[in-house]
Structure 1
Amino acid sequence: MDLRLPDELLALIAEEETPAPPSPAGRSDYTTSLLDSRMPYDDLLDGVADWAPVGTPVGLFHLVPVRVERDLPLISRWMNDPAAAAFWELSGPPSVTEDHVRAQLAGDGRSVPCIGVLDGKPMSYWEIYRADLDPLARHYAARPHDTGLHLLVGAVADRGRGLGGILLRAVADLVLARRPFCARVIAEPDIRNTPSVAAFLTAGFRFSAEIDLPTKRAALMVRDRSVRHLL
Protein backbone atom coordinates (compact mmCIF):
# COMPACT_ATOMS: atom_id res chain seq x y z
CA MET A 1 0.00 0.00 0.00
CA ASP A 2 1.37 3.41 -0.96
CA LEU A 3 0.84 5.84 1.93
CA ARG A 4 1.68 9.52 1.50
CA LEU A 5 1.60 12.12 4.25
CA PRO A 6 -0.31 15.30 3.48
CA ASP A 7 1.83 18.21 2.29
CA GLU A 8 0.75 20.33 5.28
CA LEU A 9 2.03 17.69 7.74
CA LEU A 10 5.33 17.35 5.89
CA ALA A 11 5.82 21.10 6.05
CA LEU A 12 5.13 21.12 9.79
CA ILE A 13 7.67 18.35 10.41
CA ALA A 14 10.26 20.24 8.37
CA GLU A 15 9.70 23.38 10.46
CA GLU A 16 10.17 21.47 13.72
CA GLU A 17 13.42 19.91 12.48
CA THR A 18 14.90 23.23 11.38
CA PRO A 19 17.67 24.25 13.81
CA ALA A 20 17.14 27.41 15.82
CA PRO A 21 19.03 30.45 14.56
CA PRO A 22 22.13 31.53 16.48
CA SER A 23 21.79 34.10 19.24
CA PRO A 24 21.87 37.67 17.96
CA ALA A 25 25.20 39.40 18.28
CA GLY A 26 25.66 41.26 21.54
CA ARG A 27 23.33 39.03 23.61
CA SER A 28 24.80 36.80 26.28
CA ASP A 29 23.42 33.36 27.11
CA TYR A 30 21.77 34.94 30.16
CA THR A 31 19.97 37.56 28.10
CA THR A 32 18.97 35.07 25.42
CA SER A 33 17.44 32.73 27.98
CA LEU A 34 15.56 35.58 29.62
CA LEU A 35 14.05 36.44 26.26
CA ASP A 36 12.21 33.13 26.35
CA SER A 37 9.81 34.84 28.72
CA ARG A 38 7.00 36.88 27.24
CA MET A 39 4.43 38.81 29.21
CA PRO A 40 1.10 38.67 27.34
CA TYR A 41 -0.55 41.05 29.77
CA ASP A 42 1.81 44.03 29.66
CA ASP A 43 -0.05 46.01 26.99
CA LEU A 44 -0.55 48.67 29.65
CA LEU A 45 3.15 49.39 29.16
CA ASP A 46 3.39 48.74 25.42
CA GLY A 47 5.19 45.44 25.54
CA VAL A 48 8.23 45.89 27.79
CA ALA A 49 9.35 42.35 26.96
CA ASP A 50 9.88 43.38 23.35
CA TRP A 51 11.91 46.52 24.02
CA ALA A 52 15.24 46.06 22.28
CA PRO A 53 18.66 46.59 23.88
CA VAL A 54 19.98 50.14 23.73
CA GLY A 55 23.50 51.45 23.46
CA THR A 56 24.83 53.57 26.34
CA PRO A 57 28.23 55.15 27.07
CA VAL A 58 28.95 52.21 29.38
CA GLY A 59 27.79 49.35 27.12
CA LEU A 60 24.76 47.61 25.64
CA PHE A 61 21.87 47.68 28.08
CA HIS A 62 18.75 45.53 28.05
CA LEU A 63 15.66 45.51 30.26
CA VAL A 64 14.36 41.94 30.56
CA PRO A 65 11.25 40.95 32.55
CA VAL A 66 11.93 38.95 35.69
CA ARG A 67 11.46 35.20 35.87
CA VAL A 68 11.13 34.31 39.53
CA GLU A 69 12.53 30.78 39.33
CA ARG A 70 15.78 32.07 37.89
CA ASP A 71 16.16 35.60 39.20
CA LEU A 72 14.88 35.45 42.78
CA PRO A 73 18.21 34.49 44.45
CA LEU A 74 19.99 37.38 42.76
CA ILE A 75 17.31 39.98 43.52
CA SER A 76 16.97 38.79 47.10
CA ARG A 77 20.71 39.07 47.63
CA TRP A 78 20.65 42.63 46.31
CA MET A 79 17.71 43.54 48.56
CA ASN A 80 19.61 42.30 51.61
CA ASP A 81 22.45 44.72 51.08
CA PRO A 82 22.12 47.28 53.91
CA ALA A 83 22.14 50.27 51.52
CA ALA A 84 19.26 48.76 49.53
CA ALA A 85 17.36 47.48 52.56
CA ALA A 86 17.19 50.96 54.08
CA PHE A 87 14.97 52.20 51.25
CA TRP A 88 13.43 49.14 49.58
CA GLU A 89 12.49 47.43 52.88
CA LEU A 90 12.63 43.98 51.27
CA SER A 91 15.42 42.43 53.31
CA GLY A 92 14.99 39.03 54.94
CA PRO A 93 14.39 35.56 53.48
CA PRO A 94 13.86 35.19 49.72
CA SER A 95 10.11 34.84 50.31
CA VAL A 96 9.92 38.55 51.17
CA THR A 97 11.25 39.57 47.77
CA GLU A 98 9.31 36.78 46.06
CA ASP A 99 6.00 38.06 47.42
CA HIS A 100 6.84 41.57 46.19
CA VAL A 101 7.77 40.42 42.69
CA ARG A 102 4.95 37.89 42.28
CA ALA A 103 2.38 40.52 43.21
CA GLN A 104 3.43 42.43 40.11
CA LEU A 105 3.65 39.37 37.87
CA ALA A 106 0.16 38.29 38.93
CA GLY A 107 -1.33 41.70 38.17
CA ASP A 108 -2.66 43.24 35.00
CA GLY A 109 0.67 44.54 33.73
CA ARG A 110 0.60 48.01 35.23
CA SER A 111 4.00 47.24 36.83
CA VAL A 112 6.68 45.09 35.21
CA PRO A 113 9.73 43.99 37.25
CA CYS A 114 12.88 43.69 35.15
CA ILE A 115 16.51 42.72 35.36
CA GLY A 116 18.89 45.27 33.88
CA VAL A 117 21.56 43.47 31.86
CA LEU A 118 24.66 45.47 30.91
CA ASP A 119 26.92 43.87 28.29
CA GLY A 120 25.49 40.48 29.22
CA LYS A 121 25.81 40.95 32.99
CA PRO A 122 22.72 41.18 35.22
CA MET A 123 23.50 44.19 37.39
CA SER A 124 20.31 46.02 38.36
CA TYR A 125 16.66 45.57 39.30
CA TRP A 126 13.98 47.81 37.76
CA GLU A 127 10.28 48.31 38.01
CA ILE A 128 8.57 50.02 35.07
CA TYR A 129 5.08 51.03 36.12
CA ARG A 130 2.05 53.08 35.14
CA ALA A 131 2.30 55.97 37.60
CA ASP A 132 -1.14 57.19 36.56
CA LEU A 133 -2.67 53.84 37.60
CA ASP A 134 -0.61 53.51 40.78
CA PRO A 135 -1.59 54.70 44.28
CA LEU A 136 1.11 57.33 43.70
CA ALA A 137 -1.39 59.14 41.44
CA ARG A 138 -3.34 60.21 44.52
CA HIS A 139 -0.37 62.26 45.67
CA TYR A 140 0.48 64.33 42.60
CA ALA A 141 -1.25 65.77 39.54
CA ALA A 142 -1.04 62.63 37.41
CA ARG A 143 -1.54 62.67 33.65
CA PRO A 144 -2.67 59.75 31.47
CA HIS A 145 0.15 57.34 30.62
CA ASP A 146 2.65 58.80 33.12
CA THR A 147 5.28 56.07 33.45
CA GLY A 148 7.25 55.51 36.65
CA LEU A 149 10.70 54.05 37.29
CA HIS A 150 12.21 52.30 40.29
CA LEU A 151 15.88 51.32 40.13
CA LEU A 152 18.26 49.36 42.33
CA VAL A 153 21.86 49.04 41.17
CA GLY A 154 22.58 45.60 42.54
CA ALA A 155 26.27 45.01 43.12
CA VAL A 156 28.14 47.29 45.50
CA ALA A 157 30.98 47.45 42.97
CA ASP A 158 28.63 49.03 40.43
CA ARG A 159 27.58 51.85 42.74
CA GLY A 160 29.28 55.21 43.02
CA ARG A 161 30.49 55.08 39.42
CA GLY A 162 27.78 57.17 37.79
CA LEU A 163 26.04 54.14 36.28
CA GLY A 164 22.69 55.03 37.82
CA GLY A 165 22.41 58.38 36.05
CA ILE A 166 23.54 56.93 32.73
CA LEU A 167 21.11 54.03 32.84
CA LEU A 168 18.20 56.14 34.11
CA ARG A 169 18.67 58.46 31.14
CA ALA A 170 18.78 55.50 28.75
CA VAL A 171 15.65 53.89 30.21
CA ALA A 172 13.71 57.16 30.34
CA ASP A 173 14.56 57.72 26.67
CA LEU A 174 13.51 54.16 25.93
CA VAL A 175 10.17 54.64 27.68
CA LEU A 176 9.47 57.81 25.71
CA ALA A 177 10.50 56.13 22.45
CA ARG A 178 8.39 53.01 22.97
CA ARG A 179 5.36 54.62 24.65
CA PRO A 180 4.15 57.32 22.25
CA PHE A 181 1.27 58.43 24.50
CA CYS A 182 3.54 58.92 27.49
CA ALA A 183 4.51 62.58 27.93
CA ARG A 184 6.41 62.21 31.21
CA VAL A 185 8.56 59.73 33.08
CA ILE A 186 8.08 59.92 36.85
CA ALA A 187 10.11 58.81 39.86
CA GLU A 188 9.64 59.17 43.61
CA PRO A 189 12.87 58.31 45.46
CA ASP A 190 13.03 58.78 49.20
CA ILE A 191 14.06 62.36 49.87
CA ARG A 192 16.79 61.02 52.20
CA ASN A 193 18.31 58.93 49.41
CA THR A 194 20.67 61.61 48.17
CA PRO A 195 22.59 59.39 45.69
CA SER A 196 19.31 58.33 44.04
CA VAL A 197 17.99 61.88 43.76
CA ALA A 198 21.34 62.98 42.30
CA ALA A 199 21.24 60.17 39.74
CA PHE A 200 17.80 61.27 38.52
CA LEU A 201 18.99 64.86 38.21
CA THR A 202 22.00 63.66 36.20
CA ALA A 203 19.62 61.72 33.96
CA GLY A 204 17.72 64.87 32.99
CA PHE A 205 14.89 64.65 35.50
CA ARG A 206 13.78 67.80 37.28
CA PHE A 207 12.83 68.04 40.92
CA SER A 208 9.12 68.84 40.97
CA ALA A 209 8.04 68.67 44.62
CA GLU A 210 8.31 66.90 47.93
CA ILE A 211 5.35 64.61 48.49
CA ASP A 212 4.22 62.61 51.50
CA LEU A 213 3.61 58.96 50.67
CA PRO A 214 2.38 56.30 53.13
CA THR A 215 5.89 54.91 53.71
CA LYS A 216 8.19 57.85 52.98
CA ARG A 217 8.64 61.49 52.12
CA ALA A 218 9.61 61.45 48.47
CA ALA A 219 11.19 63.70 45.90
CA LEU A 220 8.90 63.80 42.88
CA MET A 221 11.21 63.70 39.85
CA VAL A 222 9.92 64.34 36.31
CA ARG A 223 11.45 63.87 32.87
CA ASP A 224 9.36 65.67 30.24
CA ARG A 225 9.17 64.47 26.65
CA SER A 226 9.10 68.07 25.42
CA VAL A 227 12.58 68.85 26.77
CA ARG A 228 14.27 65.46 26.64
CA HIS A 229 16.69 66.55 23.90
CA LEU A 230 17.72 69.65 25.85
CA LEU A 231 18.73 67.96 29.12
Structure 2
Amino acid sequence: MPPTDASAGPGPASVPVAPGRSGPRETEGTRDTASFGDGEDTLDLRLPDEFVALFAGGTADAGSGARGAGQGSAWAAAKLGPGRAHLTEVTDDLLDDIPAWGPTVTPVGRFQLVPVDVEHDLQLIHGWMNDPAVAAFWELAGSHNETARHVRAQLDSDGRSMPCLGMLDGTPMSYWEIYRADLDPLARHYPSRPHDTGIHLLIGGAADRGRGLGSALLRAVADLVLDRRPACSRVVAEPDLGNTPSVAAFLTAGFRFGAEVDLPGKRAALMIRDRGLRGLL
Protein backbone atom coordinates (compact mmCIF):
# COMPACT_ATOMS: atom_id res chain seq x y z
CA MET A 1 0.00 0.00 0.00
CA PRO A 2 1.14 3.57 0.47
CA PRO A 3 4.57 4.79 1.35
CA THR A 4 6.02 5.91 4.61
CA ASP A 5 6.98 8.98 2.67
CA ALA A 6 3.58 10.54 2.38
CA SER A 7 4.42 13.84 0.76
CA ALA A 8 6.26 14.81 -2.37
CA GLY A 9 7.35 18.14 -0.99
CA PRO A 10 6.70 20.56 1.84
CA GLY A 11 3.54 19.81 3.72
CA PRO A 12 2.17 17.87 6.66
CA ALA A 13 4.45 15.51 8.51
CA SER A 14 4.57 12.25 6.63
CA VAL A 15 3.36 9.02 8.14
CA PRO A 16 3.93 5.43 7.07
CA VAL A 17 1.21 3.80 5.12
CA ALA A 18 -0.38 0.72 6.50
CA PRO A 19 -1.08 -2.38 4.48
CA GLY A 20 -4.70 -2.99 3.64
CA ARG A 21 -4.92 -5.51 6.51
CA SER A 22 -7.30 -7.39 4.24
CA GLY A 23 -5.64 -10.75 4.82
CA PRO A 24 -5.81 -12.39 8.26
CA ARG A 25 -8.37 -9.87 9.57
CA GLU A 26 -10.58 -10.05 6.49
CA THR A 27 -14.22 -10.91 7.00
CA GLU A 28 -16.94 -11.84 4.58
CA GLY A 29 -18.58 -8.78 3.11
CA THR A 30 -20.71 -7.50 0.31
CA ARG A 31 -19.11 -5.75 -2.63
CA ASP A 32 -20.30 -2.14 -2.76
CA THR A 33 -19.96 -0.78 -6.27
CA ALA A 34 -22.41 2.10 -6.10
CA SER A 35 -19.80 4.69 -5.29
CA PHE A 36 -17.52 3.97 -8.24
CA GLY A 37 -19.40 5.75 -10.98
CA ASP A 38 -16.62 5.04 -13.49
CA GLY A 39 -18.10 2.98 -16.25
CA GLU A 40 -14.76 1.31 -16.87
CA ASP A 41 -14.62 -0.03 -13.31
CA THR A 42 -17.23 -2.69 -14.00
CA LEU A 43 -17.07 -6.15 -12.53
CA ASP A 44 -15.55 -8.81 -14.78
CA LEU A 45 -16.90 -12.18 -13.64
CA ARG A 46 -14.40 -14.29 -15.60
CA LEU A 47 -12.02 -15.87 -13.14
CA PRO A 48 -8.31 -15.72 -14.02
CA ASP A 49 -6.88 -19.02 -15.22
CA GLU A 50 -4.42 -19.02 -12.32
CA PHE A 51 -7.26 -18.69 -9.82
CA VAL A 52 -9.10 -21.63 -11.34
CA ALA A 53 -5.89 -23.68 -11.30
CA LEU A 54 -5.41 -23.03 -7.58
CA PHE A 55 -8.66 -24.80 -6.79
CA ALA A 56 -8.35 -27.45 -9.48
CA GLY A 57 -5.00 -28.75 -8.29
CA GLY A 58 -3.23 -27.09 -11.19
CA THR A 59 0.31 -27.79 -12.30
CA ALA A 60 3.42 -25.77 -11.68
CA ASP A 61 2.77 -23.99 -14.96
CA ALA A 62 -0.30 -22.46 -13.38
CA GLY A 63 1.76 -21.07 -10.53
CA SER A 64 -0.07 -23.07 -7.89
CA GLY A 65 2.95 -24.43 -6.08
CA ALA A 66 4.80 -22.81 -3.20
CA ARG A 67 7.98 -20.97 -4.05
CA GLY A 68 11.16 -22.84 -3.32
CA ALA A 69 14.74 -23.45 -4.33
CA GLY A 70 15.19 -25.31 -7.56
CA GLN A 71 12.01 -23.94 -9.18
CA GLY A 72 11.31 -21.00 -11.44
CA SER A 73 13.72 -18.88 -13.44
CA ALA A 74 17.27 -18.29 -12.22
CA TRP A 75 18.46 -14.82 -11.35
CA ALA A 76 22.02 -13.62 -11.00
CA ALA A 77 23.33 -13.71 -7.43
CA ALA A 78 25.59 -10.80 -8.30
CA LYS A 79 22.55 -8.53 -8.43
CA LEU A 80 21.76 -9.30 -4.82
CA GLY A 81 25.03 -8.37 -3.17
CA PRO A 82 27.02 -10.11 -0.43
CA GLY A 83 25.15 -12.49 1.82
CA ARG A 84 22.34 -13.15 -0.65
CA ALA A 85 24.08 -15.40 -3.17
CA HIS A 86 22.08 -18.43 -2.03
CA LEU A 87 18.91 -16.83 -3.42
CA THR A 88 19.51 -18.24 -6.85
CA GLU A 89 16.04 -19.30 -7.92
CA VAL A 90 12.50 -18.22 -7.09
CA THR A 91 9.12 -19.41 -8.31
CA ASP A 92 6.67 -16.56 -8.64
CA ASP A 93 4.43 -17.36 -11.57
CA LEU A 94 1.36 -15.55 -10.25
CA LEU A 95 3.36 -12.31 -10.30
CA ASP A 96 5.45 -12.96 -13.40
CA ASP A 97 8.76 -13.63 -11.67
CA ILE A 98 9.56 -10.50 -9.66
CA PRO A 99 13.21 -11.55 -9.13
CA ALA A 100 13.74 -11.33 -12.87
CA TRP A 101 12.35 -7.78 -13.16
CA GLY A 102 15.77 -6.30 -12.55
CA PRO A 103 16.71 -2.72 -11.63
CA THR A 104 15.17 0.47 -12.94
CA VAL A 105 16.54 4.00 -13.09
CA THR A 106 14.47 6.55 -11.16
CA PRO A 107 14.90 10.29 -10.47
CA VAL A 108 16.19 9.38 -6.99
CA GLY A 109 18.59 6.61 -8.00
CA ARG A 110 18.85 3.05 -9.26
CA PHE A 111 16.10 0.96 -7.69
CA GLN A 112 15.39 -2.77 -7.52
CA LEU A 113 12.89 -5.02 -5.76
CA VAL A 114 14.63 -8.01 -4.13
CA PRO A 115 12.51 -10.77 -2.54
CA VAL A 116 12.98 -10.99 1.22
CA ASP A 117 15.25 -13.66 2.66
CA VAL A 118 13.90 -14.10 6.19
CA GLU A 119 17.17 -15.31 7.70
CA HIS A 120 19.16 -12.47 6.17
CA ASP A 121 16.66 -9.60 6.35
CA LEU A 122 14.61 -10.27 9.50
CA GLN A 123 16.57 -7.97 11.80
CA LEU A 124 16.27 -5.03 9.42
CA ILE A 125 12.55 -5.47 8.77
CA HIS A 126 11.85 -6.09 12.46
CA GLY A 127 13.51 -2.77 13.31
CA TRP A 128 11.38 -0.93 10.79
CA MET A 129 8.18 -2.55 12.02
CA ASN A 130 8.97 -1.45 15.56
CA ASP A 131 9.46 2.18 14.61
CA PRO A 132 6.43 3.85 16.26
CA ALA A 133 5.66 5.82 13.08
CA VAL A 134 5.47 2.56 11.13
CA ALA A 135 3.82 0.47 13.84
CA ALA A 136 0.90 2.90 14.05
CA PHE A 137 -0.22 1.75 10.61
CA TRP A 138 1.28 -1.69 9.99
CA GLU A 139 0.42 -2.98 13.49
CA LEU A 140 3.30 -5.46 13.43
CA ALA A 141 5.42 -4.18 16.31
CA GLY A 142 6.61 -6.87 18.67
CA SER A 143 9.01 -9.77 18.66
CA HIS A 144 11.13 -11.07 15.82
CA ASN A 145 8.70 -13.97 15.63
CA GLU A 146 5.84 -11.59 14.85
CA THR A 147 7.75 -10.13 11.91
CA ALA A 148 8.90 -13.54 10.72
CA ARG A 149 5.37 -14.96 10.81
CA HIS A 150 4.07 -12.08 8.69
CA VAL A 151 6.78 -12.48 6.05
CA ARG A 152 6.86 -16.28 5.98
CA ALA A 153 3.08 -16.46 5.57
CA GLN A 154 3.60 -14.90 2.15
CA LEU A 155 6.77 -16.78 1.18
CA ASP A 156 5.21 -20.13 2.09
CA SER A 157 1.89 -19.52 0.33
CA ASP A 158 0.86 -20.01 -3.28
CA GLY A 159 2.70 -17.02 -4.73
CA ARG A 160 -0.03 -14.42 -4.81
CA SER A 161 2.00 -12.05 -2.60
CA MET A 162 5.74 -11.35 -2.59
CA PRO A 163 7.51 -9.43 0.23
CA CYS A 164 10.50 -7.49 -1.07
CA LEU A 165 13.21 -5.13 0.03
CA GLY A 166 13.51 -1.95 -2.00
CA MET A 167 17.17 -1.42 -2.85
CA LEU A 168 18.09 2.16 -3.72
CA ASP A 169 21.59 2.40 -5.18
CA GLY A 170 22.33 -0.94 -3.54
CA THR A 171 21.08 -0.01 -0.07
CA PRO A 172 17.92 -1.57 1.43
CA MET A 173 15.67 1.34 2.43
CA SER A 174 12.07 0.19 2.04
CA TYR A 175 9.79 -2.81 2.43
CA TRP A 176 7.25 -3.72 -0.25
CA GLU A 177 4.51 -6.27 -0.71
CA ILE A 178 3.49 -6.83 -4.33
CA TYR A 179 0.34 -8.91 -4.50
CA ARG A 180 -2.43 -10.11 -6.79
CA ALA A 181 -5.29 -7.84 -5.75
CA ASP A 182 -7.74 -9.85 -7.86
CA LEU A 183 -6.90 -12.99 -5.83
CA ASP A 184 -6.85 -11.16 -2.48
CA PRO A 185 -9.76 -10.61 -0.05
CA LEU A 186 -9.54 -6.96 -1.17
CA ALA A 187 -11.30 -8.05 -4.37
CA ARG A 188 -14.51 -8.53 -2.38
CA HIS A 189 -14.64 -4.80 -1.78
CA TYR A 190 -14.20 -3.32 -5.25
CA PRO A 191 -14.94 -4.38 -8.86
CA SER A 192 -11.63 -6.06 -9.52
CA ARG A 193 -10.26 -7.10 -12.88
CA PRO A 194 -8.11 -10.13 -13.69
CA HIS A 195 -4.43 -9.51 -12.87
CA ASP A 196 -5.03 -6.32 -10.85
CA THR A 197 -1.80 -5.91 -8.88
CA GLY A 198 -1.62 -4.32 -5.44
CA ILE A 199 1.16 -2.49 -3.60
CA HIS A 200 1.96 -2.08 0.11
CA LEU A 201 4.98 0.04 1.03
CA LEU A 202 6.87 1.41 3.99
CA ILE A 203 9.97 3.59 3.90
CA GLY A 204 12.32 2.26 6.56
CA GLY A 205 14.48 5.14 7.74
CA ALA A 206 13.11 8.35 9.19
CA ALA A 207 15.68 10.33 7.19
CA ASP A 208 14.18 8.98 3.94
CA ARG A 209 10.65 10.10 4.77
CA GLY A 210 8.98 13.37 3.88
CA ARG A 211 11.23 14.27 0.96
CA GLY A 212 9.45 12.81 -2.04
CA LEU A 213 11.10 9.38 -2.18
CA GLY A 214 7.79 7.61 -1.67
CA SER A 215 6.11 9.23 -4.66
CA ALA A 216 9.11 8.65 -6.92
CA LEU A 217 9.39 4.99 -5.97
CA LEU A 218 5.65 4.36 -6.15
CA ARG A 219 5.66 5.61 -9.73
CA ALA A 220 8.72 3.53 -10.56
CA VAL A 221 7.30 0.33 -9.06
CA ALA A 222 3.89 0.83 -10.66
CA ASP A 223 5.62 1.25 -14.00
CA LEU A 224 7.70 -1.87 -13.35
CA VAL A 225 4.51 -3.84 -12.69
CA LEU A 226 2.92 -2.61 -15.91
CA ASP A 227 6.08 -3.26 -17.91
CA ARG A 228 6.78 -6.73 -16.50
CA ARG A 229 3.18 -7.93 -16.19
CA PRO A 230 1.62 -7.45 -19.64
CA ALA A 231 -1.69 -9.01 -18.53
CA CYS A 232 -2.07 -6.41 -15.77
CA SER A 233 -4.01 -3.30 -16.77
CA ARG A 234 -4.10 -1.61 -13.34
CA VAL A 235 -2.00 -1.20 -10.22
CA VAL A 236 -4.06 -0.56 -7.08
CA ALA A 237 -3.54 0.48 -3.47
CA GLU A 238 -5.79 1.19 -0.49
CA PRO A 239 -4.32 3.75 1.92
CA ASP A 240 -6.38 4.90 4.86
CA LEU A 241 -8.67 7.69 3.70
CA GLY A 242 -7.60 9.78 6.68
CA ASN A 243 -3.94 9.53 5.73
CA THR A 244 -3.98 12.62 3.52
CA PRO A 245 -0.20 12.75 2.92
CA SER A 246 -0.22 9.16 1.71
CA VAL A 247 -3.14 9.71 -0.65
CA ALA A 248 -1.32 12.79 -1.97
CA ALA A 249 1.80 10.70 -2.58
CA PHE A 250 -0.17 8.26 -4.73
CA LEU A 251 -1.71 11.10 -6.70
CA THR A 252 1.76 12.55 -7.30
CA ALA A 253 2.90 9.10 -8.45
CA GLY A 254 0.27 9.00 -11.21
CA PHE A 255 -2.50 7.14 -9.42
CA ARG A 256 -6.08 8.36 -9.54
CA PHE A 257 -8.68 8.24 -6.79
CA GLY A 258 -11.15 5.47 -7.61
CA ALA A 259 -13.53 5.30 -4.67
CA GLU A 260 -13.93 5.11 -0.92
CA VAL A 261 -13.90 1.50 0.23
CA ASP A 262 -14.86 0.03 3.60
CA LEU A 263 -12.20 -2.49 4.65
CA PRO A 264 -11.83 -4.31 7.96
CA GLY A 265 -10.51 -1.72 10.38
CA LYS A 266 -10.51 1.29 8.09
CA ARG A 267 -12.17 3.41 5.44
CA ALA A 268 -9.75 3.33 2.52
CA ALA A 269 -9.07 5.36 -0.58
CA LEU A 270 -8.88 3.06 -3.58
CA MET A 271 -5.99 4.40 -5.67
CA ILE A 272 -5.56 3.18 -9.24
CA ARG A 273 -2.78 3.56 -11.78
CA ASP A 274 -4.15 2.66 -15.20
CA ARG A 275 -1.99 1.35 -18.02
CA GLY A 276 -3.92 3.54 -20.45
CA LEU A 277 -3.31 6.70 -18.44
CA ARG A 278 0.30 6.17 -17.40
CA GLY A 279 1.57 8.56 -20.06
CA LEU A 280 -0.81 11.31 -18.94
CA LEU A 281 -0.59 11.19 -15.13
TM range (shorter): 0.7 to 0.9
Larger radius of gyration: 1
One-letter code aligned to 2:149: D
TM-score normalised by L of structure 1: 0.85
One-letter code aligned to 2:258: S
1:222 aligns with: 272
Secondary structure, counterpart of 2:90 in structure 1: coil
Cα-to-partner distance string for 1:48-80 (whole Å, 9 max, x where unaligned): 111110000111000000000011111111011
- Structure 1: give runs of 5+ residues left out of the alignment: 1-21
Runs of 4+ aligned residues of structure 1 deviating over 6 Å after TM superposition are none
Q: Which has the higher helix share?
A: 1
2:110 aligns with: 60
Deviates most, 189-198 or 113-122 = 189-198
Secondary structure, counterpart of 1:229 in structure 2: coil
Cα-to-partner distance string for 1:185-205 (whole Å, 9 max, x where unaligned): 000011222222111111000
> What does residue range 2-81 of structure 1 map to in structure 2 within 5 Å?
29-30=81-82, 33=84, 36-40=87-91, 42-81=92-131
* 8 A Cα contact 1:130 1:145, kept in partner: yes
1:95 aligns with: 145
User: How many matched pairs?
Assistant: 206
2:71 aligns with: none
1:135 aligns with: 185
- Supply the distance in 2 between the matched residues of 1:218 and 1:99 (Cα, whole angstroms): 25
Q: 1:35 to 1:95 in 2, by over 3 A?
A: same
One-letter code aligned to 2:250: F
- Supply the distance in 1 between the matched residues of 2:86 and 2:181 (Cα, whole angstroms): 25
- Supply the distance in 2 between the matched residues of 1:219 and 1:139 (Cα, whole angstroms): 12
Identical-pair percentage: 68
- Supply the distance in 1 between the matched residues of 2:277 and 2:90 (Cα, whole angstroms): 31
1:117 aligns with: 167
- Supply the distance in 1 between the matched residues of 2:166 and 2:202 (Cα, whole angstroms): 9
**RCO higher in 1 or 2 (8 Å CA, sep ≥ 6)?**
2
Secondary structure, counterpart of 1:182 in structure 2: coil
- Supply the distance in 2 between the matched residues of 1:162 and 1:129 (Cα, whole angstroms): 24
TM-score normalised by L of structure 2: 0.70
Deviation at 1:29, TM superposition (A): 2.6
* 8 A Cα contact 1:34 1:65, kept in partner: no
- Structure 2: give runs of 5+ residues left out of the alignment: 1-75
